[in-house]
Amino acid sequence: MEDILLKGEVGDIIFQNKENGYTVFTMEIQEEEITCVGVVPLIHSGESLSVRGSWINHPVYGKQLQVQFYEKFMPTSQNGMEKYLSSGLIKGLGPKTSRKIVERFGDAAFYVIEEKPDLLTEIKGITHEKAQRISEIFREQHELRKVMMFLQGFEVSPAYTMRIYKRYKGRTFDIVKTNPYRLADDIFGIGFKMADKMAANAGIAEDNPNRIKAAVKYVLNQAASNGDCFLPKDKLIAESVELLELHPLAVENAIRELQVESQIWQENLAGLDVVYLNFYYYAEMAVAKRFIELSMDCEETDPEILERQISQMEKETGVQLAPEQRQAVREAMSGGVLIITGGPGTGKTTTINTILRLLEKEEKEVVLAAPTGRAAKRMTDATGVEAKTIHRLLGTTFVSDDNRRQVFDKNEDDPIEADVLIIDETSMVDLHLMHALLRAIENGTSVIFVGDMDQLPSVGAGNVLKDMIRSERLRVVRLQHVFRQAQESAIIMNAHRINQGEEPVLNEGGTDFFFMRRAYGQEVLSTVQELVKSRLPKYTGHDGLADMQVLTPMRKGMLGVQSLNQVLQQTLNPPSPNKKEKEFRQTTFREGDKVMQIKNNYNIVWRCFSCQGKRTDEGLGVYNGDAGRILKIDEENEMVRVSFDDGKVVDYDFTQLEELELAYAITIHKSQGSEYPVVILPVYSGPPMLMTRNLLYTAVTRAKELVVLVGLRETVNSMIANNREVGRYTALAERIRNLYDFMNELEVQP
């Protein structure tokens, strides 16, 4: 897009969001009036403005300038001064009084207001008190103007400028000049690299201790976003040195200072020096402690009575449990902490339903939960008992000026009310969420964790389910028997073959598992298009938009999420005069599009409606991975309405669209906890770290009725052979083991 630079005077403020600075306004440029939109906070009619941006065509309002950067100047003409003063900037100063001030003092009007406010009393209706108030507000605005212009000099975008000013106000100058790295801690969205650029502009030395400490925390935070709870100290130093281009000794000194300041934790784990951000260390310790405490609440049950109850339940339901399922039921009824793990077709749902019926007969209060909305809905459908997301169960809110810090309503002071808590899809639960969950479970509550340990680990830091099992100190029942009805599904049988390192059986007659060989990337892309548009709807009767999901290992490249979504949007939901659109950054959102929430938003309002359109429920929170469809794009009110798969309806302000992305194709990681009637999986090429066995296994197990692999058989085989699990630096298993052994040693001592 062509970069446009214009200078003029602010005319009318049509719309302004005071929270985020998004503004629609007119500018008068050489007797021509243009409409501008963008994050342009705290502007007023009459101000002179220099704006840089690009032209866009609004479907209703026509040609507009999308502002990227701007610079403000005080009005210099008397007409501009008058408009500025009467713009509402100063409460109680209307058009008549503003005109009198400018007529009386002319070009010196602003100087008089700021420096000689007593002279304003010469104007009828302005008392001494009012003159002082006008001057005070004017000076505050002048201070604000200086801060805004100061930050723009550091190439900070208007959106971040607004956040910084709201946080620091008049302290902004001092903080940015002396330690801009504070912004990386205090302002959501400003990371080390942006702060480092500001520091360079401020002339802060490369070996400044604040810079080195910020870099160390940045490397640890990056590691956490990749799943690691800590880093080996040598690795942390090496990555920090590469980032800073400084001597390792400077980094070691910074690590020492951060430990003294209680921002990080160092210890030796099995001969390895490691470094944690404080939160992850204390979270690991707290999670291990709660597991041990809760696991000690086991009750002795009469085995003969329990066996009779299980047999009676089998007669009532007509379901014959396998030996390992019976074991899981027995263990569940004795309380404490239990892990039930198994692959597809091994009877996890049947086992849980049996446990639920037995608990119901004992009149126990049971609560079901899962990490995502889709997983909770699947759990509800499978059991007939309402399941909530863990976040909703805990009651989450976000606090602080920038909505960065998450707080859970449920904790040790206000715990979850339940005799038994059952958590499904536990492999998706990261350390942070598990820590919050365990804090909210009171002693005496039994907890049953259900999940497939061979699925991909959580998106967030930790590998909690595997660590729980690897600790060998918590009770685990492994369901391994694949039931006869499941054996009839090639999806399930091939999933187990893949998991065991064997090649899948492809394209058998009457199968639900197909492979289509395509030798070139463009052929794979064309075939995927053809499958969703015509071939599979004709073959299966399923709708390409509602019932089929394209999964891919990666985000970039011809067969990555970004490329596939553009192609599939054009294929399944092409432009139409009847469908409104909104372009946001590089994405066009269209009514009818499949979309996904890509970050947790704990404060956004959702509503549920009945078939008759009556509101039936409402609450707060939409979470990373929630998927739905765009119902409506409202240009006039700057709003996009999304209906999510779990029934929630959410209205997004245009400035919130960074939280959504198209979801015709999603990464396999994002598909965890979900099931789709039909899964289409391009298997062509990609980085070895992504093309792994458990990634393929996870993708295949997302399908209920049909899997279609498109690409190269060699790629399928290489993924199965690549059983290299991407290791995560976690110590939860060791902490559970050590704490359990220590507490048992105390018990046996005389």
12: left (phi over 0), alpha (psi -120 to 50) or beta: beta
Does 178 count as an annotated binding residue? no
The string of pLDDT tens digits covering residues 257-273 is 999 999 999 999 989 99
| Residue closest to 418 by CA, chosen among 477, 352, 359 | 359
The string of pLDDT tens digits covering residues 575-633 is 999 999 898 878 999 999 999 998 877 678 888 887 666 777 777 778 778 889 999 99
Task: Give the mean model confidence (pLDDT) for residues 97-119.
Answer: 90
Q: What pLDDT shows up at residue 596?
A: 93
Q: Could you tell me if 719 and 553 are in contact, meaning their C-beta atoms sit under 8 angstroms apart?
A: no
Give the sign of the dihedral formed by CA 609, CA 612, CA 613, CA 617.
negative
- Residue 567's CB: how many other CB atoms inside 10 A? 18
Does 348 count as an annotated binding residue? yes
The string of pLDDT tens digits covering residues 716-725 is 999 999 987 7
Does 96 count as an annotated binding residue? no
Burial class of 128 by CB neighbour count within 10 A (0 to 12, 13 to 18, 19+): exposed
Does 347 count as an annotated binding residue? yes
Give dist(CA 425, CA 449) in Å, integer: 8
The string of pLDDT tens digits covering residues 197-246 is 888 877 889 998 999 999 999 999 999 988 999 999 999 999 999 999 89
Backbone Cα Rg of the chain: 30
Given a cut of 80, is residue 41 above it in pLDDT?
no
Poorest-confidence range of 334-348, 387-401, 704-718?
Answer: 387-401
| Residue closest to 567 by CA, chosen among 621, 623, 522, 629 | 522
| Residue closest to 467 by CA, chosen among 737, 226, 282, 223 | 737
Task: Give the mean model confidence (pLDDT) for residues 532-538.
Answer: 93
**Confidence label for 656 from pLDDT (cuts 50, 70 and 90):** confident
Q: Could you tell me if 684 and 712 are in contact, meaning their C-beta atoms sit under 8 angstroms apart?
A: yes
**Confidence label for 365 from pLDDT (cuts 50, 70 and 90):** very high
Q: What pLDDT shows up at residue 20?
A: 67
Pairing type for strands 420-423 and 405-408 reads unpaired
**Confidence label for 403 from pLDDT (cuts 50, 70 and 90):** very low
Phi then psi dihedrals of residue 96, to 5 deg: -65, -50
Q: Could you tell me if 180 and 199 are in contact, meaning their C-beta atoms sit under 8 angstroms apart?
A: yes
Does 444 count as an annotated binding residue? no
Residue 5, beta-bridge partner list = 52
Contacts of 108 (CB under 8 A, 6+ apart): none
Structural domains of the chain in order of their starting residue, each with its CATH number = 1-73 (2.40.50.140), 77-153 (1.10.150), 171-277 (1.10.10.2220), 284-484 (3.40.50.300), 502-721 (3.40.50.300)
Contacts of 695 (CB under 8 A, 6+ apart): 456, 553, 668, 719
User: Helix, strand, or coil here: 1?
Assistant: coil
Poorest-confidence range of 489-493, 677-681, 744-748?
Answer: 744-748
User: Helix, strand, or coil here: 387?
Assistant: strand
- pTM attached to this predicted model: 0.78
Mean pLDDT of the chain: 87
Given a cut of 60, is residue 405 above it in pLDDT?
no
- Residue 599's CB: how many other CB atoms inside 10 A? 11
**Confidence label for 698 from pLDDT (cuts 50, 70 and 90):** very high
Q: What pLDDT shows up at residue 146?
A: 72
CA distances from 335 to 79, 313, 417, 421 (A): 78, 19, 16, 10
Given a cut of 70, is residue 336 above it in pLDDT?
yes
Given a cut of 80, is residue 2 above it in pLDDT?
no
Q: Could you tell me if 708 and 461 are in contact, meaning their C-beta atoms sit under 8 angstroms apart?
A: no
CA distances from 448 to 331, 332, 425 (A): 10, 7, 11
Task: Give the mean model confidence (pLDDT) for residues 137-162.
Answer: 71
Percent of the chain past pLDDT 70, that is, above it, reads 94
